[in-house]
A and B are shown apart, each in its own frame.
Chain A
Amino acid sequence: MKVLWFHLMPYQDLPADFKDKHNSVWVDIDPGLFDPLRGHQHYHEYMDQLEYAAKAGFHGICVNEHHSNAYGMMPSPNLIAATLARNTRDAALCVLGNSVALYNPPTRVAEEMAMLDCISGGRLIAGFPVGTPMDTCYAYGQNPAKLRDRYYEGIDLVLKAWAADKPFAFNGRYTQQRYVNCWPRPVQKQPPIWIPGGGSVETWQMCAERSFVYANLSYFGHQASMTHVKGFWGEMKRLGKEPNPFQAAFLQFVGVAETRAEAEKLYHEPANYFYNRCLHTDPAYANPPGYTSEATVRARITSQVLRAAEESRKATRSGGGAKFFEEGHVIIGSPDEVAEKLLNVCKEMHVGHLLLLLHFGNMSRDLTKYNTDLFATKVLPQIKHLYEKEWEDHWWPTGMPKHLPKGAAHAKSTFATAGVAAQ
Chain B
Amino acid sequence: MNSIKERIVETPAGPTRVWEKGRGKKLGYLAGLNGLPKWSPFLDKLAETRRVIVPSLPGYPGGPSSEPLDTQLDWVLAARDALVAAGLDGADLIGASVGGALAAEVAALWPKSVRKLVLIAPFGLFDSETPIADVFAQRPGQTTVLLSEKPTDYAGYLSVPKEGDAGEWEVQTLRAHIAAASLIWPLGDTRLSKRLMRIMAPTLILWGHNDHVIPLSYARRFAEGIGAGTKVKIVRKAGHTLEFDEPKAAARTIDSFLSS
Give A contacts to B, CB under 8 Å. 137-138, 141, 143-146, 173, 282-285, 288-290, 294, 297-298
Closest 3 CB pairs of A and B: A289-B177, A145-B182, A290-B178
Q: Does B6 contact A (CB under 8 A)?
A: no
Chain A residues with Cβ below 8 Å from B137 are 138, 282, 284-285, 288
Q: Which of A284, A294, A298 contacts B139 (CB 8 A)?
A: A284
Contacts A143-B182, A145-B181, A145-B182; is A298 near B136 (CB within 8 Å)? no
Contacts A283-B139, A289-B178; is A298 near B185 (CB within 8 Å)? no
In contact, A288 and B136 (Cβ under 8 angstroms): yes
In contact, B181 and A283 (Cβ under 8 angstroms): no
Chain B residues with Cβ below 8 Å from A145 are 66, 178-179, 181-182, 185
Q: Does B156 contact A (CB under 8 A)?
A: no
Q: Which residue of A lies closest to B59 (CB)?
A: A145
In contact, B180 and A294 (Cβ under 8 angstroms): no
- Give the CA-CA distance A134 to B137 in the complex, in Å: 10
Chain A residues with Cβ below 8 Å from B180 are 289
CB B82 to nearest CB in A, in angstroms, measures 19
12 A-B pairs (CB sep. < 8 Å): A137-B136, A137-B186, A141-B186, A144-B185, A146-B182, A282-B137, A282-B139, A284-B137, A284-B138, A288-B136, A290-B174, A294-B171
Known: A144-B178, A298-B167. 5 other contacts (CB 8 A): A138-B137, A143-B181, A143-B186, A146-B182, A284-B138
Chain A residues with Cβ below 8 Å from B48 are none
In contact, B182 and A290 (Cβ under 8 angstroms): yes
Of B136, B142, B175, the most chain A CB neighbours within 10 A belong to B136
Q: Which of B177-206 contact A (CB under 8 A)?
A: 177-182, 185-186
Q: Does B255 contact A (CB under 8 A)?
A: no
In contact, B181 and A289 (Cβ under 8 angstroms): yes
- Give the CA-CA distance A289 to B182 in the complex, in Å: 9
Q: Which residue of B lies closest to A283 (CB)?
A: B139
Chain B residues with Cβ below 8 Å from A294 are 171, 174-175
- Give the CA-CA distance A290 to B182 in the complex, in Å: 9
Q: Does B153 contact A (CB under 8 A)?
A: no
Chain B residues with Cβ below 8 Å from A144 are 136, 178, 181, 185
- Give the CA-CA distance A146 to B69 in the complex, in Å: 10
Q: Which residue of A lies closest to B182 (CB)?
A: A145
CB A382 to nearest CB in B, in angstroms, measures 44
Q: Which of B70, B138, B171, B186 contacts A298 (CB 8 A)?
A: B171
Chain A residues with Cβ below 8 Å from B66 are 145
CB B215 to nearest CB in A, in angstroms, measures 20
Q: Does B170 contact A (CB under 8 A)?
A: yes
Chain A residues with Cβ below 8 Å from B175 are 294
In contact, A173 and B70 (Cβ under 8 angstroms): yes
CB B139 to nearest CB in A, in angstroms, measures 5
In contact, B174 and A297 (Cβ under 8 angstroms): yes
In contact, B171 and A297 (Cβ under 8 angstroms): yes
In contact, A297 and B182 (Cβ under 8 angstroms): no
- Give the CA-CA distance A289 to B171 in the complex, in Å: 11
Q: Which residue of B lies closest to A288 (CB)?
A: B136
CB A200 to nearest CB in B, in angstroms, measures 15
